[in-house]
Structure 1
């Protein structure tokens, strides 16, 4: 059972919930003897003192954060370091972990992926970073093992930067926010609200972390219950979960659109740090005797059942039992959704996979920061011990999260069991999570213990007629399905004795291969540049007025970052801004790049003093606005989307638009703070529009005195739609910090730091 409280609540001693009401404080006093108020009780959460310890602002509600360490992988670190260099960085001011777990395979683009890896090693030596070579560890496993600590804060350029189960508030953001830390600035954010995730009861043996995580996501994603908030895990049920079980739930909190997470800690967390040779990282964390939460998600772990999240989002959750009973109707719905998204470009035929009343799966994958944990892999091996995955169409791949975990799984016989059963064992690699590993064949159905099942996330290309489908499931049920020859099977449908062996961490594996330069950096060392690593293009500052042309008009309810800039094969070009920009919106609006370039070319002419491209538009504008001079106008493209930015933290979803000449996004709302921050850091205005747009693709939108409006922090901004006629329209801007206003006015974070 999962219950969402309609309002806030006081939690007493981390156990008793008192719903907020007119007499709530009187009841709190009666039960605890403590006379308090809501504002004081908000300070009783686990999150509050951690945020305070990292806050450099004197303001209660507007935080300016400095983090303990940073982390990036090989899709993001080149752009971040290049931006920081251009912004004046001389050294890494805090530990910065550079992992190589995304562009691990170097089959696409020739040498360029490995060129990026060598760039990272040279940067670690020059600026004082930590370099984790390919195949050694996925980003989040390494940070759990080596960097997390109770009361710490970690900022990462990957959306799944979550180490709350280890007492660490970790935040996934776009690269611009890491650049700010690297050049001595702060991460600025309004104090987030905190929602209690109250876990009680004990899960059945056949339940794994994905079952719990998916059920929570299914309850809170679509209604925005925890959006941009801290999910704080409390309750007696935590003690019934291993630390790796907690980690598996925690990493999936990203899919709720929360800001971050934190858990109460206990002896099991203490033991985890001791096993990893870092006993000093432990501190017992609990809410105070009275803590106020802005909401409560009550989860009875004993009632969770094996679950499946069907395409194309982790929130599309059913129990496996429900899915099997209603599979024809559910599969028809998936096919219809694919047709709505892709029309005749690609077709899914999932009903053909129902054979003799059973649903036949084509592929299983257990991998990465969510699936490749020690506990998950051991449980899968226990289920498959002495069985066979079959030598037909179905295939199972297992990716341990790190080389130390891999070594222990070898030593204790787990890997032998899996290989004997027919599973293929791979190295630590995030590829299956973003379409660069184990891509299914066209029209195949893959079940995965990974983080996402967005469209194309598995690597297909619907624009080329290729499409496959991914459903998320727990490792236990994936193994049960594998043991049943690929027929969809929940872990509750089989009997197994789980071995639950202890874990021994071998630190030598890292000591003998990784490079740690945090105490040993040398500014005289040169960076190693491959031919694909390019500098960011020059970006103009915002002039007095802003003229936008709508280059894409997206009507989907939610637009993910994967749709804005596809994952998979594009990853190899993420050190080359111009090359990567060619993929922008390629799977959602293939015309976008050409339309954006037309506007960029016109802007280049405008910058050179040739105003012919917009002379007619300026003439129309002056009919309503007065004396507008073309030389005072910044011209750029924009996109409209209802709710853009769900999913990945990758800044490329914004930077590629900027490279193509964009000056803004217009949206009914932004799915995540991190995407909005990415827009700002690339000098784009994150406009809000209430209701349906009065413009179409190809229309111009004129924002008079845009620079002044941004710098003044105006909430409501007069603008005009310039089509066949001129129509007045109101755009809105949510709160911007002083620095954010200046970044937009300067045209980018790079310009802001360079000029200031």
Structure 2
């Protein structure tokens, strides 16, 4: 089904895989001659040379401004943000010297579009966004018109392009575009003429063979891939390049459905070979000139290989609390009791509160698994083909009048119109399905929130803890399992009894024709690119606030650990919860109150306490008596170091920090880091970081991304105090390791600062990207 080819590189020569990259050129050419193919010069087979034959290499080099193919400085073709990220980005860019958008910047309104929390604040953000598009020359997509990634597929993605989005699921590989999801500060860099910097990434070939069975959908393929690679980190921060004869057996909608889920593998980006189907898709969307044939060169080298036989993929289900916790539905149903018991045990570890209980084994009734809710939505589920297939399956057959309910959200209004025009909407509605507008809410807990104790099956992107909107601290807990739209339709047709699509008689295999109507966007979307009007004033609602002052990195630091998280992985949803908290993302101080609220509710008061001490320290002047709490803390540090107290107080800043084993899986949201900074945070300590984007967020908010040896983890507890002398000098000098002293006691711990670029070090020294641009405009 999905096979990983170890840790060795592979060649693709004349579209043939050579799995043993350790073959000598002579051995390779001997094989080629046996197949009647021309030999390849030895120098062309050197991995450093052959890697230039990948699709990835060509696109990256076309966007690299550094002149160094190993150290990239990328400029993108377009940017995209939605309504829980663009306010902060524009505010930061404005503070950094923004005059007008130098490239197309699309502002969609698909996350807080229900405007259901906090009074006027959500719609206030939308008004701000339109005013910003007019002032700076942007593109504004009003609420309910399209989810962010569907709009970019329809209107911007094309062959050989790169798009940067402030959403982790920024993926447009099937259309020939490398999409990267990052935190807001990386978009700010593009808006003020800077670059996206990284070391040339490894590229993994995803070789597709065969054809999926009718009824097996893109989510099934995606979950099988995620299951195979996530735990071992095989593709972490790498680029997935989809190639092979199986690509031609997938429609563009199908490819998009697989591609958008690659974010859950923790890869950096993705790209696919393109063909006539992609040309037809772009032509249908009025952009035939945006097509470009992309395929590997005659000689290509990849750093690894994932081989997928599409014909062997079965309908899948990913159980709580991660898309990688996946099984075939067949396997799951055969072992449902045991598998669900394991999920319950995991829930007890995640939520060790006696008032919270997740009874999933109780969903097994008479040998069947009964679910309570179904949702198909967003950039993963809301495609035309997914919803059309559901309509053909259901064809007006009732879902029943019991507890089970099913909602579907077309990913754009053009898709919605096509469903109506082709009769698919009527079939869904007559079955009892609720047909909604384009909205990402079910993906992050702001729409169709299930009741306490419910199990919801969803064709959306994630099923992290509380991603569906429940609040364990309030005694609420629900669960989400990810499935493909086809199997969700099959389950709906049986009134909520879990059913794979291939268990039912399916409609005849056929190809559906989609018609895109551009008038919807022409009549509603504001396209101001290239038409900036500085006379337009930004319209601020009462919840839109500037970032608080952030100071440069002090000479030394005292860090107090306000949270210690020992879970194997910590998601951004746990660092700053989604759901209704998203409505406050335009107000840094209000949003910060929610930091770690569902994971470590003691974090915020602890962080505030150390921040108050820092305020007292900054008010102190030499010769004054220290407040008692400061005097006690600095006396303890002085006892460990032998330094004079007054000198320590003058040179040493105070701040909070967190330790987590592997933080940052999931969303690109910068607020997972910025909220810590707003509360006085100066660092994260980790064994490793789950994603590049979270580590970049820390750096852009002036926070130190320390890593430690696993053996040192036992030294760290909540309220541990670490003194780091000379941290500013260490960062400035390029040091990759500093020594911290545990107070009291004086035991030491090594804190590593590896792989920080000179520019990243400058941002940390300045205290934030905003501060950096204040002196580097």
Q: TM-score range by the shorter chain?
A: over 0.9
Q: CA RMSD in A?
A: 1.1
Partner residue, 1:718: 739
Deviations 1:682-717 (A, max 9, x none): 000000011142121111111111011112221121
CA contact (8 A) 2:374 2:406 kept: yes
Answer yes or no: is 1:754 the counterpart of 2:754: no
Cα separation, 2, equivalents of 1:173 and 1:14: 35
Answer yes or no: is 1:698 the counterpart of 2:708: no
Cα separation, 1, equivalents of 2:390 and 2:510: 11
**Greater Cα shift, 427-436 or 708-717:** 708-717
Partner residue, 1:707: 728
Answer yes or no: is 1:352 the counterpart of 2:362: yes
State the shift of 1:750 in Å: 0.2
CA contact (8 A) 1:14 1:235 kept: no
Cα separation, 2, equivalents of 1:21 and 1:433: 41
Answer yes or no: is 1:403 the counterpart of 2:389: no
Cα separation, 1, equivalents of 2:26 and 2:635: 67
Answer yes or no: is 1:615 the counterpart of 2:631: yes
1:42 is aligned, of 19, 35, 51, to 51
Partner residue, 1:740: 760
Partner residue, 2:35: none
Partner residue, 2:118: 109
Query: CA distance change for structure 1 residues 276 and 730 in 2, over 3 Å: closer, same or farther?
Result: same
Partner residue, 1:337: 346
Answer yes or no: is 1:684 the counterpart of 2:703: yes
TM-score, structure 1 as length reference: 0.99
Partner residue, 1:634: 653
State the shift of 1:604 in Å: 0.8
What are the residue-to-residue correspondences of 1:537-556 with 2, within 5 Å? 537-556=548-567
State the shift of 1:620 in Å: 3.5
CA contact (8 A) 1:14 1:286 kept: no
Partner residue, 2:596: 585
Cα separation, 1, equivalents of 2:120 and 2:401: 35
State the shift of 1:626 in Å: 4.4
CA contact (8 A) 1:176 1:681 kept: yes
CA contact (8 A) 2:396 2:428 kept: no
What are the residue-to-residue correspondences of 1:157-176 with 2, within 5 Å? 157-176=166-185
Query: CA distance change for structure 1 residues 14 and 561 in 2, over 3 Å: closer, same or farther?
Result: farther
Partner residue, 1:294: 303
**Greater Cα shift, 333-342 or 67-76:** 333-342
Deviations 1:184-210 (A, max 9, x none): 111111111000000000110010000
SS at match of 1:629: helix
Answer yes or no: is 1:565 the counterpart of 2:576: yes
Cα separation, 1, equivalents of 2:321 and 2:679: 29
Partner residue, 2:200: 191
Deviations 1:47-82 (A, max 9, x none): 001000111112232111100000000010000000
CA contact (8 A) 1:378 1:500 kept: no
Answer yes or no: is 1:653 the counterpart of 2:659: no
SS at match of 1:197: strand
Cα separation, 2, equivalents of 1:457 and 1:728: 38
Query: CA distance change for structure 1 residues 399 and 24 in 2, over 3 Å: closer, same or farther?
Result: farther
Deviations 1:640-698 (A, max 9, x none): 00000000000000000000000000000000000000000000000001114212111
What are the residue-to-residue correspondences of 1:244-283 with 2, within 5 Å? 244-283=253-292
CA contact (8 A) 2:472 2:598 kept: yes
SS at match of 1:401: coil
CA contact (8 A) 1:577 1:659 kept: yes
Unpaired runs of at least 5, structure 2:
33-37
CA contact (8 A) 1:14 1:234 kept: no
SS at match of 2:73: strand
Deviations 1:297-329 (A, max 9, x none): 000000000000000000001000011000000
CA contact (8 A) 1:197 1:232 kept: yes
Query: CA distance change for structure 1 residues 574 and 345 in 2, over 3 Å: closer, same or farther?
Result: farther
Answer yes or no: is 1:643 the counterpart of 2:662: yes
Cα separation, 1, equivalents of 2:367 and 2:748: 58
State the shift of 1:635 in Å: 0.9
**Greater Cα shift, 284-293 or 686-695:** 686-695
Answer yes or no: is 1:363 the counterpart of 2:373: yes
Deviations 1:718-744 (A, max 9, x none): 111113x11111110121111110110
**Greater Cα shift, 19-28 or 341-350:** 19-28
Partner residue, 1:3: 3
Partner residue, 2:515: 504
Partner residue, 1:314: 323
Answer yes or no: is 1:62 the counterpart of 2:74: no
Cα separation, 1, equivalents of 2:640 and 2:118: 51
Query: Which aligned segments of 4 or more residues in structure 1 are displaced greater than 6 angstroms?
Result: none
SS at match of 2:524: coil
Partner residue, 2:478: 468
Answer yes or no: is 1:672 the counterpart of 2:691: yes
Answer yes or no: is 1:28 the counterpart of 2:28: yes
Unpaired runs of at least 5, structure 1:
none
SS at match of 1:321: helix
CA contact (8 A) 1:194 1:232 kept: yes
1:437 is aligned, of 447, 458, 464, to 447
CA contact (8 A) 1:100 1:135 kept: yes
Deviations 1:204-230 (A, max 9, x none): 001000000000000000000000000
State the shift of 1:130 in Å: 0.3
SS at match of 1:726: coil
TM-score, structure 2 as length reference: 0.96
State the shift of 1:411 in Å: 0.2
SS at match of 1:140: helix
Deviations 1:164-202 (A, max 9, x none): 011001000000100011111111111110000000001
State the shift of 1:624 in Å: 4.5
State the shift of 1:615 in Å: 3.0
Cα separation, 2, equivalents of 1:122 and 1:244: 33
Partner residue, 1:486: 496
Deviations 1:264-310 (A, max 9, x none): 00000000000000011100000111111111000000000000000
**Greater Cα shift, 332-341 or 28-37:** 28-37
Cα separation, 2, equivalents of 1:483 and 1:543: 63
